[in-house]
């Protein structure tokens, strides 16, 4: 690693002022599981690294008036261990569980995963299907936006150098919404997704799809929604055929590429299958409620 200075922030505010003071060539350090790898490979050469792991206001999982709030510093292990999430959002537990291995999940944070913003991130799809919002703190206060707006492109979010991600909120209307997440990697552990997908739905009158949200990862420059598939399902009867058709339509919504992990055509097959299965699993969850 190249030489840099290291400072520690005790709060989000302090992090913002340290970033402003030392910027623009500064970098936020949370769990370090993405950024330390980049620093070692000299992909970044910051003057100053601002450690935020001691900022307590970025931690914690709670249900408040707005919905379920998860601080940016919540680790993947904390998500897996949280009783409320276990009870209400098994998809989030499962998504967290697929990330790296125990050591990575103990260090790696939800915020870090979203800010790194690789298309294959495993936290993205389930949160996007649940219409999660994020809060960003900067020198001029905070702003709130949909997760979709937060993602700009591969490895790029809306964050300025002197802004931090504060938290992620699943809106109240979606608390307990039946959701499923599936990841297809080449191994069970330590493997990035070739494709991952999530579906969230309510069951409407006459056993129909209601408020279906489908989200896909590793098939476009950022995690995306699958609007064609969602529109098709809305109000239709819940049948295996309709789920399969949604899978086919989801392929149209995506722009998968060939890379060293998989070919685009393999990814297209995966999209159809994973979409169908997540819909099916989410529906099963709804029935068990």
Point out which residues bind ligand FAD (CB under 6 A): 27-35, 37, 52, 58, 72, 98-100, 104, 107-109, 111-113, 115-116, 121-122, 159, 164-165, 190, 192
Question: Of 60, 189, 235, 240, which one interacts with other proteins (CB under 8 A)?
Answer: 189
Are the C-beta atoms of 229 and 275 separated by less than 8 Å? yes
Contacted entry of ligand FAD, other proteins, none for residue 122, CB cut-off 5 to 8 Å set by kind: ligand FAD
Element at 67 (helix H, strand E): strand 67-71
Contacted entry of other proteins, ligand FAD, none for residue 262, CB cut-off 5 to 8 Å set by kind: none
Distance CA 100, CA 79 (A): 14
Give 109 or 215: the residue with its C-beta nearer to ligand FAD. Answer: 109
Q: Does 197 bind other proteins (CB under 8 A)?
A: no
Q: How far is CA 13 from CA 18, 161, 206, in A?
A: 9, 14, 50
Give 95 or 243: the residue with its C-beta nearer to other proteins. Answer: 95
Burial 110-121 (b: 16+ CB within 10 A, else e): bbbbbbbbbbbb
Residue span 53-72 as binding mask against other proteins, x where in contact by CB under 8 A, dash where not: x-------------------
Give 107 or 251: the residue with its C-beta nearer to other proteins. Answer: 107
Contacted entry of other proteins, ligand FAD, none for residue 102, CB cut-off 5 to 8 Å set by kind: other proteins
Task: Tell me the three state secondary structure of residue 147.
Answer: helix
How many beta carbons lie within 10 A of that of residue 141, not counting itself?
Answer: 8
Q: Does 5 bind other proteins (CB under 8 A)?
A: yes
Question: Taking contact as CB under 8 A, which single stretch among the options 33-41, 163-171, 205-213, 254-262 is the one that binds other proteins?
Answer: 33-41
Distance CA 261, CA 215 (A): 20
Give 193 or 249: the residue with its C-beta nearer to other proteins. Answer: 193
Contacted entry of other proteins, ligand FAD, none for residue 164, CB cut-off 5 to 8 Å set by kind: ligand FAD
- Cβ 245 to ligand FAD shortest distance, Å: 29
Are the C-beta atoms of 223 and 217 separated by less than 8 Å? yes
Instruction: Identify the burial level of 24 via C-beta atoms within 10 angstroms of its C-beta, where 0-12 means exposed, 13-18 middle and 19 or more buried.
Output: exposed
Are the C-beta atoms of 139 and 162 separated by less than 8 Å? yes
Residue identified by tokens 């800010």 is 115
Distance CA 114, CA 147 (A): 9
Distance CA 136, CA 271 (A): 31
Enumerate residues 87-146 that contact other proteins by CB under 8 A. 100-104, 106-107
Distance CA 148, CA 46 (A): 28
Give 121 or 201: the residue with its C-beta nearer to other proteins. Answer: 121
Give 108 or 256: the residue with its C-beta nearer to ligand FAD. Answer: 108
Question: Of 27, 49, 110, 168, which one interacts with other proteins (CB under 8 A)?
Answer: 49
Interstrand relation of 133-138 and 164-171 (parallel, antiparallel or unpaired): antiparallel
| Contacting residues toward other proteins, per CB under 8 A | 1-6, 8, 29, 31-33, 36-37, 39-40, 49, 51, 53, 77, 100-104, 106-107, 188-190
């Amino acid at each position: 690693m190249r030489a840099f200075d290291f400072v520690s922030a005790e709060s989000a505010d302090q992090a913002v002022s340290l970033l402003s003071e030392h910027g623009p060539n500064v970098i936020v350090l949370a769990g370090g599981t993405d950024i330390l790898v980049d620093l070692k490979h000299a992909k970044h050469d910051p003057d100053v690294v601002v450690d935020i792991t001691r900022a307590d206001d970025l931690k914690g999982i709670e249900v408040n008036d707005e919905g379920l709030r998860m601080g940016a510093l919540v680790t993947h292990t904390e998500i897996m261990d949280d009783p409320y999430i276990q009870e209400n959002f098994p998809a989030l537990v499962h998504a967290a569980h697929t990330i790296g291995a125990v050591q990575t999940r103990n260090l790696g944070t939800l915020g870090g995963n979203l800010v790194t913003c690789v298309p294959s991130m495993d936290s993205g799809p389930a949160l996007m299907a649940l219409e999660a919002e994020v809060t960003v703190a900067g020198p001029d206060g905070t702003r709130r936006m949909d997760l979709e707006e937060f993602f700009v492109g591969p490895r790029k979010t809306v964050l300025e150098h002197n802004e931090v991600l504060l938290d992620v909120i699943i809106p109240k209307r979606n608390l307990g919404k039946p959701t499923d997440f599936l990841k297809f990697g080449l191994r069970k552990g330590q493997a990035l997704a070739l494709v991952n997908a999530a579906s969230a739905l309510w069951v409407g009158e006459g056993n129909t799809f209601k408020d279906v949200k489908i989200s896909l990862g590793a098939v476009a420059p950022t995690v995306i929604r699958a609007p064609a598939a969602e529109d098709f399902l809305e109000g239709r009867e819940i049948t295996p055929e309709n789920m399969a058709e949604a899978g086919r339509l989801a392929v149209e919504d995506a722009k998968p590429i060939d890379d060293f992990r998989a070919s685009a055509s393999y990814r297209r097959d995966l999209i159809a299958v994973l979409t169908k299965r997540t819909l099916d699993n989410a529906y099963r969850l709804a029935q068990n409620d």
